[in-house]
Chain A
Amino acid sequence: MNRAAHAQAKTAVAAKQEPVIVFVAGGKEMAIPAGAVHEIRSTDSLAGEAAMLEQADFPWVRHTIERGGTTHYVVSVGSFFGLPRTRPSLVLVLRGVRCALLIDRIERMDALPAIYALPRAFQGDERRWYLGLALFESGAVPMLNPRGLLTSEHLEQLDARAVASLSGVPA
């Protein structure tokens, strides 16, 4: 067999230990680089800050929060992925993107020597959603791409709906 070619299949990136947050959403374990998370808040503590967003096109976005003068859209991770409905209790406000993640709970913090590339067999939107796969003793866990769930197009559309929601005019 062609070992050089197979070496590509084994792709693992990042030689240094990458700190990650492993969380549960919709009953499913996922991970995100710890450096991508700016703030961790309970849903209770955010209750006074979050604003409802009335729109139907992105049913996994029901709330917004303001940070640094910009609107962050709160993505229900379980709803986004069509996972079983659960009771989320935490919000991860992400750094450098206008997105926050509504999750069930944080499972643990961990450090990884490598993130494995998503096999090429996966050819759908998951290539945007995930940075790759993290391998733990419990199995392979998808590593969320902080910029993967809401694209710039999504943000533009959400901005339009947010404005419409405020003015009471459908977007």
Chain B
Amino acid sequence: MSTFKEQAEAAYVLLRLGDRRFALPADGVEELASASRLDKFPHKTPGVDGVIVRRKRVLAVRDVASLLTGRALLVHRFYLIVRRRYGTAVELEAIPVSGDCELVGGAVPLPRSDDAPEYFAGSIDLGGDKIPLLDIEKLAAAAVPAGHLAGIRA
């Protein structure tokens, strides 16, 4: 599977969660990986499902679908591997997505409306469709419903 960085001119990655589409800045995306075994263990971090092992790295798997669409993905075909910043460190994290992702370039970003959640950085216009543009850092920090705590002792 090719990495997104090979196509430096690309500006955004479109991802699908259920029947909805979202966009991420391409420079924050490492690659698209086929679904692999999710290892779960007890923890208390909201929004994190478990880990996958990819190229001898342990990557946290973050459920963003629950927050963005109101329900976790029951089935996913791929993980979108994104870069997260923790101070000066960068770590890769995996986001389950419903299907293929798409690179788009040349789209004009539109500002965030005042009533939109902070984890939307704005939107991009694709042929008249406004696709919400995600701020992955704010999305990760956003609270998720308590029911989505990993089923572990609160």
**Residues of A in contact with B (beta carbons under 8 Å apart):** 1-2, 5-6, 8-10, 28, 30, 80-83, 116-126, 129, 133, 135, 139-142
- A1-B30, A5-B88, A139-B37 known; A119+B93 contact, CB < 8 A: yes
The B contact surface, by secondary structure, is strand
The answer to whether B90 touches A125 (Cβ under 8 A) is: no
The number of inter-chain residue pairs (CB within 8 angstroms) is 89
The answer to whether A140 touches B51 (Cβ under 8 A) is: yes
Q: Specify which chain B residues have a CB less than 8 angstroms from the CB of A123 in the assembled complex.
A: 45
The answer to whether B39 touches A140 (Cβ under 8 A) is: yes
- A82-B42, A126-B42 known; A5+B89 contact, CB < 8 A: yes
A110 to chain B, nearest CB (A): 16
**Residues of B in contact with A (beta carbons under 8 Å apart):** 5, 30, 37, 39, 41-45, 48, 51, 53, 56-60, 62, 83-84, 86, 88-93, 140, 151-154
The answer to whether B45 touches A124 (Cβ under 8 A) is: yes
Q: Which of A30, A80, A81, A121 contacts B48 (CB 8 A)?
A: A121
Q: Specify which chain A residues have a CB less than 8 angstroms from the CB of B57 in the assembled complex.
A: 9-10
16 CB < 8 A contacts A-B: A1-B30, A5-B90, A6-B91, A9-B91, A9-B92, A28-B42, A82-B42, A120-B60, A120-B86, A120-B89, A121-B48, A124-B45, A126-B44, A133-B51, A133-B58, A135-B58
A64-B140 Cα distance, complex, nearest whole Å: 41
Q: Which of A82, A120, A133 contacts B151 (CB 8 A)?
A: A82
Given contacts A28-B41, A82-B42, A126-B43, 7 further A-B contacts (CB under 8 A): A1-B90, A9-B89, A28-B42, A122-B60, A125-B44, A141-B39, A142-B42
A133-B93 Cα distance, complex, nearest whole Å: 16
B91 to chain A, nearest CB (A): 4
Q: Which of A83, A118, A140 contacts B53 (CB 8 A)?
A: A140
- A2-B90, A119-B59, A120-B91 known; A81+B152 contact, CB < 8 A: yes
- A5-B89, A126-B43, A133-B51 known; A82+B58 contact, CB < 8 A: no
A21-B42 Cα distance, complex, nearest whole Å: 18
Q: Specify which chain A residues have a CB less than 8 angstroms from the CB of B42 in the assembled complex.
A: 28, 81-83, 126, 129, 142
Q: Specify which chain A residues have a CB less than 8 angstroms from the CB of B151 in the assembled complex.
A: 82
A8-B57 Cα distance, complex, nearest whole Å: 10
